[in-house]
A and B are shown apart, each in its own frame.
Chain A
């Protein structure tokens, strides 16, 4: 088995065994597979039909759907954790998606690429070009990331919405970064939230 993406590995480590989990944007189900081994009742939503087929083919409960439109159909508190990994910045209405996530799950994990990472700043400030980095590998005209955000944007946003940050992890590649300079030094962030 290939190693789990660093942000998914953090999430997998911190989801309590045996809990109910909804993975929004679950891809081909690699995180769900790990959670299933932890005896979690894991469900997934994924927009790409090829990924859904792969996930269902490996026996996971995954439905083809869109985070922007389909979360409303889940009841309140249906899950212990709702997970949104690398998907927030692709949503048409990230604020509404996050609100749904907090309604459905007692906790939420949210991970996203940090647009204030120094390489990104450099590319834009000095190169005058939209950044193409390991975390943001796709050119401006074909990227799905339509709502880029920074770690500080997210911190301000959850504060404004009265959402509690229980824990946060900051990463560059697989390396951890401290919270203090994370907005400059971290390529990725993972937040564990509760209402």
Chain B
């Protein structure tokens, strides 16, 4: 087989664009970082697009270049897993606005010769999906056998089915919602304000001297991280246990294990993520309201769809609770779309979609295989 440099790990491409954005701006050129696994079959029919979450990246099943950790979804993607390079041509794309190689605020603005910073246009989930679509054109992928993702990845899955119904045969949306609730927006605003309150943020222009608003971004991550876990999970893991000490210090050190854990989550996050990207992507999620894009009725988003849908929620996920998935299921039923839905039990809260939940693998595997048999 002739080596094609479009395929493989740690790929990137600069597409001419322009990409017309929901906010009215045009983005050109469009840089897209991505990875592919497995081979596209002769009919071009075995492609699966995996969409990542807010702080995820294209390294779905390969070692992360900064942290050295294994891919973020090796439980779902790999040999013998529901999404398997032996059977599938797998594509995972760093979303627009992110900081792992795709166009985002840290990218150099060709007009200014300096990073866009806050001059980067505000983007939407639909803009992310459009960027993925032009990448798939570049890769020669027409119709996707499946689009799969959790959390913000699930929002992209729904957006894919709504925007490109003819290009998606099956859609798997896990632990997600068709719109951001007031509570979702509220938590994101806390994170954004933490970043902007950091004096090192400087209106977003911090790239030149390599001194980013790490403290603000760490606080944003700490607040968000709480929403990814369940109360019972936190109690189980930490309770009120103290960190490396026999008694309370009567000070403001991290006395409790849970404080120490959150601080660690915040500090390790800033090494791998850009604060401005965090602002842009949380904004895109807050703007997401699939019904609003379709005359206020979610069922309209799926009216032209021949896509099969599989939705999964988790009983301890209070970020995107089961009711959000049910609302999507009801809309799909009203549109007559084939849909499967199950609420799985897990102690892990929202993060369950990333963790070891064998039942999730069973459901996704069965759903994908049924689509392949049809």
Contact = CB atoms under 8 A, between A and B. Distances in A.
B76 to A, nearest CB: 15
A53 B344 contact: yes
Interface in A38-57: 41, 43, 49, 52-53, 55-57
Interface stretch (B126-134, B253-261, B269-277, B331-339): B331-339
Interface string B338-351: 11111111000000
B308 interface: yes
A73 B369 CA distance: 28
B365 interface: yes
A57 B345 contact: no
Given A53-B363, A56-B363, A64 B343 contact: yes
Given A58-B366, A58-B370, A59-B367, A53 B334 contact: no
Interface string B358-374: 01001101110111010
A59 B334 contact: no
A61 B338 contact: yes
> Which of A53, A70, A75: most chain B CB closer than 10 A?
A53
Contact of A56 (B326, B330, B366): B366
B301 interface: no
Given A61-B338, A61-B339, A63-B339, A56 B310 contact: yes
A49 B311 CA distance: 13
Given A49-B343, A53-B344, A53-B359, A63 B336 contact: no
A102 to B, nearest CB: 17
B342 A56 contact: yes
A75 B330 CA distance: 10
B329 interface: yes
Contact of B334 (A41, A64, A75): A75
A60 interface: yes
A78 interface: yes
A190 to B, nearest CB: 26
A193 interface: no
B127 to A, nearest CB: 31
B341 A57 contact: no
A62 interface: yes
Nearest to A22: B333
Majority secondary structure, B binding face: helix
Interface string A8-30: 00000000000000000000000
B367 A56 contact: yes
B362 A57 contact: yes
A41 B339 CA distance: 12
A62 B340 CA distance: 5
A56 B367 CA distance: 6
B340 A63 contact: yes
B343 A61 contact: no
Contacts of A60: 340, 370
Contacts of A62: 340-342
B308 A63 contact: no
B333 A63 contact: yes
A136 to B, nearest CB: 29
Nearest to B329: A63
Contacts of B370: 58-60
A74 interface: yes
Contacts of A59: 366-367, 369-371, 373
A74 B299 CA distance: 11
Given A49-B345, A56-B366, A56-B367, A61 B330 contact: no
Nearest to B362: A57
A73 B343 contact: no
Contacts of B344: 49, 53
Given A57-B365, A58-B370, A49 B342 contact: yes
Contact of A53 (B329, B330, B362): B362
> Which of A55, A57, A58, A60: most chain B CB closer than 10 A?
A57
Contacts of B366: 56-59
Given A56-B310, A56-B363, A59-B366, A73 B338 contact: no
Interface in B221-239: none
B345 A73 contact: no
Contacts of A43: 338-339
Interface of B: 308, 310, 326, 329-330, 333-334, 336, 338-345, 359, 362-363, 365-367, 369-371, 373
29 contacts: A43-B338, A52-B340, A52-B341, A53-B342, A53-B363, A55-B340, A56-B310, A56-B340, A56-B342, A56-B363, A56-B366, A56-B367, A59-B370, A59-B371, A59-B373, A60-B370, A61-B338, A61-B339, A61-B340, A62-B341, A62-B342, A63-B333, A63-B340, A63-B341, A65-B326, A73-B330, A73-B334, A75-B334, A78-B336
Given A52-B340, A52-B342, 9 more contacts: A49-B342, A56-B340, A58-B370, A59-B371, A59-B373, A62-B340, A63-B341, A70-B330, A74-B333
Instruction: List 6 A-B pairs, minimum CB-CB distance, nearest first.
Output: A59-B370, A57-B366, A63-B341, A73-B330, A52-B342, A56-B340
